[in-house]
Structure formats: C-alpha cells, structure tokens
Chain A
Amino acid sequence: MNDLMLFLNEVWIARLALLRGLGVTVSISLLAILAGSLLGVGVGLGLVYGNRLLRLVFRGYTDIIRGTPVLVLVLASYYIFSTVGLDLGPFQAGVLALAVFCSSHVGEILRGALQAIPIGQTEAAKAIGLTFGQTFGSVLWPQALRQILPTWVNTAAEMVKASTLLSVIGVAELLLRTQEIISRNFLSLQFYFLAGFLYFLINYGIERLGKYVERKTAVPS
C-alpha cells in the first residue's frame, strides 16, 4: 500500500513532464503519419503509373528505405542535414526520418492494393467512357483505400512505436521524459510500465478508430 502511494505521489509530481512527453509523442506520430501517408500516396502512384524511369527511382527509394533500420534513418536525418548546412532541430529531423520511413511502407501498400484490383474494373470504366482521372477517382481509389485500411492502421501503430527512437537524438518525447523521471526517483520498473501502458493506449485508440472506419466503409455482401 505504501509502495503504491509512493508511486502515485511520484506520478503526481511528474505529471506535467509526462503529459508533455505524451504530447510530443502524439505530435511526432501524427505529423509523421500524415506527411508519410501523403508522401506514400505519391510513391505508390509513381510505382504503379510512372514511366519506366520514375518506377525505377521509386522502387530504389522504397527498397533502400525499407531495408534501413529506422534508428539509422533517424540518426542520418539528424546528422547528414547539418553537415550540408541545413539546420534541422532534433524534432524536425526525427519527424522527417519517420515520415520518409512511413512513406515507403504506405507506397508499397498502395501499390499492392492498386495492382490487386482486377483489370476488368478499369476496362468497365473505360467502356462507359470514363477518362483515366475519373476511373482512378471513382473506381480504383475507393477500392484501394478499403483494401489498405487495415495495413495502414498497422503502419500508423508502428510509427508511434518508432517515435521512441527520437529519444536518442534528444527529443523529449514520452520515453525520454520517462527516463528523466526515473533518474530522479529510481522507480524504473513502475515508470517504464506506466510509459508502456500509455503507448498501448495510443495504439489501442488507433486500432479502434481503424476498426470503426473499416466498419463504416465496409461494402455489404
């Protein structure tokens, strides 16, 4: 009982630091997922509809990015840009690295989803006189979107987890805040559990939201 009171007391003392950390983690994740998805849609479209050169470039991009550990991307983004005189702060560099990583995944998911749509769909759309733009907007994109939703939610959750890597370059997100708190009160087990629980809550929220959207957009059959 005493232990619990002690822990809760320490949580209360550290509440602002924890909330700030949580806020930073959520902002990093949101920015990375949003920017990464936008970028990823471009990558996916390039992979499917680009000419030979464009496809080659995007293929190289996704293969290299996906084959690199996220931590390496984060460090590279932080250190490389400063050597070329572009001064990104740790937050910006970190978000950029995660967004790039996210885009390679989203691009690949979208490519798979678009290519899985039977060619007959495009032909039927052409046959009623739709242009390519209309076909994409009304026929292909809505089907691809439903297809990628579950995998996209998974990628979003990965981004939240990968945001912890930004602690290495000094971004005061939830994990780094937790470590600072532990260095003051030495309640390492308790506070790591608390941090873990908070990460779980964020990802659980994302997953529930994904399921909700999936249900809302499901096609009756």
Chain B
Amino acid sequence: MTKPLLEMQGLRKQYGTVEVLKGVDCTMRQGEVISIIGSSGSGKTTMLRCINMLEEFQGGRILIDGEAIGYDEIAGVRRRKSEKEIARQRALTGMAFQQFNLFPHLSAAQNVMLGLIKVKKMSRDEARVVAEQWLGRVGLSARADHYPGQLSGGQQQRVAIARAIAMNPRLMLFDEVTSALDPELVGEVLQVIKGLAAEGMSMLLVTHEMRFAYEVSSRVIFMNQGVIVEQGDPKEMFLRPGTERLAEFLKSSSFQ
C-alpha cells in the first residue's frame, strides 16, 4: 500500500459563523484525476483553495505526501506555519484559476519563467528553455513573446496552465478553468487537460463541464452544503446516482 498523495481529514472551514466545509474526508492516490462537482455554494472551490492555503481553514488536516499543509500541531496546539514554509508548500501544488490571473505586464514566456527563476532558482536561460517547452506542449510556441492582452481567453488559460505545470507540482488544481471562456474556446483548454491526464498527472478539478468530468475523471466527488455526499466511478455515478441530491443536481445541470 503506497502512501496517498493527498489526504484530507475532517477539513473544516468557516467564514465568520458560516460553516462552508463541515468535515471533509478524502484520500487521493498518485495519478488520479478527480472531478469535484456540485452546485455553487457547496464548498468545492473553497476546498480546492484550502489545499494550497489560499484559504485558511479552522479544523482538520490536509496532508500532501504525508506532510501537513499550512499548520503545525504541537502538543495539541495548532499553529500556522511560517510564510516561507507555506510558500514552499504552495509550490507542491499548481493551480489554474477561473479568471486565468496571468501577470499582464509579463509576456507568456515570462509568466511561465517567473516561478522557475524566483522559486526554483533557475537561471534566465534555463527558465526560458523550460518555458518554451511547456508553451509548446499547450500549443503556444508561436505566442511565447505575446502579452496576455494580445491573447484570446483560451490561449491565456493555456499559458496559465503551462505556468503552473512548469513548476513540476505533485498535484494540479483546476478551479472552474473553462467557466470564463467563450463556448468555442472551451475545447482547446479541455484538450490540454485531457493530455495531462493521459500522461498520469494527478489532478483535482472543480468543474461544471459534466461531459468532461464523465470522460476524463477516474473518480467523481459530489459535494453539497460543505460535505462530500457521494463519490465513485463517473460512469457508475452519472448513470446510477446513489442519492436523491445527486440525481437532482445531474438533472438540473442537463447531463444526458
């Protein structure tokens, strides 16, 4: 039995008095592609953001390769790790955002190079080679020196994915990466993600693309009101939902 890549144990998160994650337990093995589905407000994006400490969480633990993320617990006292340590842990995961969040003052290549130079301490030349390699992989070799403002939404999102992947993360997090795209640009981004899945990249995707979740995932997690309601094989779950709530959700999201 190999150690799991990611473990969440009783993950709890609240904004003020509102509890958005009410004890989430989940284990993920290396190479798994997991889609997280659920209606908005179910906590799926929040859960994803806790994994790389973009959100603080108040209870439970997140482990990556057995290493506790964000907080230390010494003799029952929970303490936030140092900023430096958290920055290092964040680099274990890569993240792509709904709004791309490319750095507008940097070219596509420079966007990918920034983390390689600052975090991986590569030289500019080394970083440039790696950046070009990854931009090539997402089909944007010819756009390396274009700025985000000169790229379409789909191209920007592919650069953002290249920027995250180039850091060689243990796990990729995708947060509704196609939601802000025009319908005709969704396909090119999903194609890139499919390619990564085929190569065995471990991925956790929050998505509204049910068809895509169905086709690409090795497992689907359905969340509702801050807990995991159901999880399992996508074919099984989508065709024979085990709970009323999932059946309703699938109907409303018009998955056939």
B193 at the interface (CB under 8 A from A): no
Residues of A within 8 A of B52 (CB): 126-127
Residue of A nearest to B115 (CB): A128
A124 touches B102 (CB 8 A): yes
Q: How far is the CA of A130 from the CA of B119 in the complex (A)?
A: 6
A129 touches B150 (CB 8 A): no
Q: How far is the CA of A146 from the CA of B106 in the complex (A)?
A: 13
Min C-beta distance of A135 to chain B, whole Å: 9
Contact pattern, B 78-116, Cβ under 8 Å of A = 1, otherwise 0: 000001100110110111010101111100000000110
Min C-beta distance of B7 to chain A, whole Å: 20
Contact pattern, A 111-126, Cβ under 8 Å of B = 1, otherwise 0: 0000000101101111
Min C-beta distance of B162 to chain A, whole Å: 11
Min C-beta distance of A100 to chain B, whole Å: 31
A128 touches B101 (CB 8 A): no
B147 touches A128 (CB 8 A): no
Interface size on B, residues (CB 8 A): 31
B129 at the interface (CB under 8 A from A): no
8 Å CB contact of A138 from B87, B90, B93, B114: B114
B105 touches A143 (CB 8 A): yes
Q: How far is the CA of A127 from the CA of B174 in the complex (A)?
A: 12
A154 at the interface (CB under 8 A from B): no
Say what secondary structure dominates the interface of chain A. helix
Residues of B within 8 A of A121 (CB): 101, 103
A128 touches B83 (CB 8 A): no
- In the complex, the number of residue pairs spanning A and B with C-beta atoms less than 8 Å apart equals 80
Min C-beta distance of B52 to chain A, whole Å: 6
A220 at the interface (CB under 8 A from B): yes
A127 touches B118 (CB 8 A): no
Residues of B within 8 A of A143 (CB): 103-105
Q: How far is the CA of A143 from the CA of B148 in the complex (A)?
A: 14
A129 touches B90 (CB 8 A): yes
B164 at the interface (CB under 8 A from A): yes
Min C-beta distance of A141 to chain B, whole Å: 10
B127 at the interface (CB under 8 A from A): no
Q: How far is the CA of A126 from the CA of B118 in the complex (A)?
A: 12
Which of A121, A127, A143, A219 has most B Cβ within 10 Å? A127
Residues of B within 8 A of A83 (CB): none
8 Å CB contact of A131 from B83, B93, B97: B83
Residues of B within 8 A of A131 (CB): 83-84, 87
Min C-beta distance of A216 to chain B, whole Å: 13
A134 at the interface (CB under 8 A from B): yes
Q: How far is the CA of A206 from the CA of B142 in the complex (A)?
A: 39
Residue of A nearest to B167 (CB): A128
Min C-beta distance of A17 to chain B, whole Å: 47
- Scan residues 68-99 of chain A and give those whose CB is less than 8 A from a CB of chain B: none
Q: How far is the CA of A134 from the CA of B120 in the complex (A)?
A: 13
B163 at the interface (CB under 8 A from A): yes
Q: How far is the CA of A118 from the CA of B103 in the complex (A)?
A: 11
Which of A126, A129, A221 has most B Cβ within 10 Å? A129
A142 at the interface (CB under 8 A from B): yes
Residue of B nearest to A126 (CB): B90
B83 touches A127 (CB 8 A): no
Residues of B within 8 A of A142 (CB): 105
A124 touches B149 (CB 8 A): no
A153 at the interface (CB under 8 A from B): no
- Scan residues 121-165 of chain A and give those whose CB is less than 8 A from a CB of chain B: 121, 123-132, 134, 138-139, 142-143, 146
B26 at the interface (CB under 8 A from A): no
A219 touches B115 (CB 8 A): no
A130 touches B150 (CB 8 A): no
A219 touches B91 (CB 8 A): no
Interface CB pairs A-B, < 8 A, 13: A120-B97, A124-B103, A126-B52, A127-B52, A127-B54, A127-B93, A128-B90, A128-B115, A128-B167, A130-B114, A138-B103, A146-B105, A219-B147
Q: For the complex of A and B, list the 4 residue pairs with the smallest distance between their C-beta atoms, beginning with the closest.
A: A221-B149, A129-B91, A128-B115, A124-B101
